[in-house]
Structure 1
């Protein structure tokens, strides 16, 4: 019995060491000063509780940066993301209802050691143009791709053509981040999936059936621009949220991370809901691990 007890104790000790070693290797490093930059997919419009600094940014206290900061136990956390922001608002003030959001890069300091950046969808009004135009074209050809045809001129997809410059804009933003916070770990966070790979839900996502695949291809091209900017920069890590958000598109019902066309008390149209922001937080946290 004494020998058996000794053996059990020895096995438990080994297991404890292995679990401790795994936990240490899996846990992200300690970050002291985290700054979040970005647009509405970062800010979390209408998700409770909303901040008022300024109120027009529609910045949630439960967006993915806030949830990430909580997971990281970061002593200093600054979130200056703002709905409607584009890359120009990183270095210039952004006018919003009832106030002004200062240039987002102003929040960076030499001792900032973690930066997340979620930007690009508003450059050249790509996101706003899609949701402002495509639903209105569905009735003209419900099973076709009227929106894709609308934005294709002389064989050129004019929406995707703009993304080359978007990539250059993001590359410039990343360079400015490194200049202001040279020691920071920088993550360029992509956009999660909006439309399902198959099937449609016109009552929620009112695009023509054939435009679902095109919408997805535009989003993939946008994420490629963000990934390309990170690769060109060389000191930035790209966080893919599109792939792991499969099954959480706007048509996914209770599993959806993206709200549909109707405004909700807790989520803006065509934007992440609370579950979406939680999902993004987990993805970014895993990227840090």
Structure 2
């Protein structure tokens, strides 16, 4: 596979500590019914290592060029607050999140009665779902590279324990989305799904070091998570934004077309997290969703 050229670790350190946000002008001719936008979410919203990293606080690894920032510019909103933070789970919407230095306040603190648009991209850290996958599956590949050792590891008595956890995540998300209404009763609430990490077919173990049979299982886990997000949105009166479908062909194996990084720590993307291209892609998906009035 072709590899992106790295500009070195110093570039990554510079990006992660920079506090100056890039000024982004509204899209030409942008018109919107939304004026006060608040973004909430985890690292797939925050954008760790994507330049430029904001310092409010630095521990959230929040980019000034993540999809909420790009969406705010496309919409031309009057006010925009990004409350997302890497490592957040649904409990951190209403409770402080402990960081390496200090705390990030509850994300719902960013909401106001005048808030009229809220995006919520969260859930993958509940029950350590994503971290259990990426911390476990690469190490199991060598045991059975053509099989599905990670699926087998998480299956107990014929039950996929991660998918059981996802069922509980759905309940957490529904409660969170319903609670938004008490903080921002006028807001249109969008529940943002997760883009695909693994390809629909094929393998790239040098980038995504899972056993061959676990690629399909990883897709099934992500689809189950997105199904939980969609179900929570429907039950709470929010609107689900599908990024799974639009990210077809932009998985971690897609070389220069990838929206998602693989296992490597790169200057401009954390392992298994979106590149800047992914943030641009997702912002476009959300913008189109709003423009259609969905």
Q: Quote the residue 1:113 is aligned against.
A: 116
Pairwise CA distance, 1:96: 1.0
Picking from 269, 274, 277, the partner of 2:276 is 274
Report whether the alignment pairs 1:38 with 2:41: yes
Q: How does 1:126-275 map to 2 (within 5 A)?
A: 126-233=129-236, 235-275=237-277
Distance 2:178 2:257 in 1: 37
RMSD (CA atoms): 1.1
Cα separation, 1, equivalents of 2:178 and 2:196 = 27
Which TM-score applies when normalising by structure 2?
Answer: 0.88
User: Is the Cα–Cα contact under 8 Å of residues 55 and 99 in structure 1 kept in the other structure?
Assistant: no
Give 3-state SS (helix, strand or coil) of 1:30's partner: coil
Q: 2:125 aligns to what?
A: 122
Looking at CA atoms only, which structure, 1 or 2, has the larger radius of gyration?
1
Unaligned ranges ≥5, structure 2? 1-28
Shift of 1:27: 7.1
Report the equivalent of 1:87.
90
Structure 1 distance, partners of 2:171, 2:30, is 33
Partners of 1:40 and 1:111 in 2: CA distance: 26
Shift of 1:37: 0.1
Paired residues, number:
263
Partner in structure 2 of residue 66 of structure 1: 69
Structure 1 segments, 4+ long, off by >4 Å, are none
CA deviation after TM superposition for structure 1 residue 175, in Å: 1.1
Per-residue CA deviations over 1:126-183 (Å, capped at 9, x if unaligned) read 0000000000000000000000000000000000011111011001101110111010
SS of match in other structure, 1:199: coil
Give a deviation string over 1:15-52, Cα, whole Å, max 9, x none. Answer: xxxxxxxxxxx976321110000000000000000011
In 2: Cα distance, 1:194 partner to 1:28 partner: 33
252-261 vs 96-105, which moves further: 96-105
Whole-angstrom distance in 2 between the partners of 1:184 and 1:225: 22
CA distance in 2, matches of 1:232, 1:113: 20
Name the CA distance, whole Å, in 1 between partners of 2:107 and 2:153: 34
8 A Cα contact 2:89 2:125, kept in partner:
yes
1:103 paired residue number: 106
Instruction: Check whether the contact 2:30–2:74 (CA below 8 A) recurs between aligned residues.
Output: no
1:10 matched residue in structure 2 = none
| Shift of residue 98, structure 1, vs aligned partner | 2.1
**3-state SS of the aligned residue for 2:190?**
strand
TM-score using structure 1 length:
0.90
Any gaps of 5 or more consecutive residues in structure 1?
1-25
